[in-house]
Amino acid sequence: MRSFLWLGNELVNGKAKVAWKDLCVPKANRDLGIRPLKGWNYSLMISHLWSVVVNKDSLWLKWINTFRLKGRSFWM
Q: Kindly report, residue by residue over 30-70, the tens digit of the pLDDT.
A: 666 777 788 889 999 999 889 888 888 889 888 988 898 88
Verdict on whether the full-model pTM lies above 0.85: no
pLDDT tens-digit readout, 7-36 = 656 556 666 666 777 777 777 766 667 777
Exposed e or buried b for every residue in 29-51, given b needs 16+ CB within 10 A? eeeeeeeeeeeeeeeeeeeeeee
Q: What per-residue confidence (pLDDT) applies to 28?
A: 74
**Domains contained in the chain, number:** 1
Asked if pLDDT for residue 6 goes beyond 60, the answer is no
Look at residue 22 and tell me if it is in a domain.
Answer: yes
Identify the pLDDT of residue 46: 93
In a domain, 17, yes or no: yes
Q: What whole-number distance in Å separates Cα of residue 13 and Cα of residue 3?
A: 11
Domain carrying residue 48: 2-69
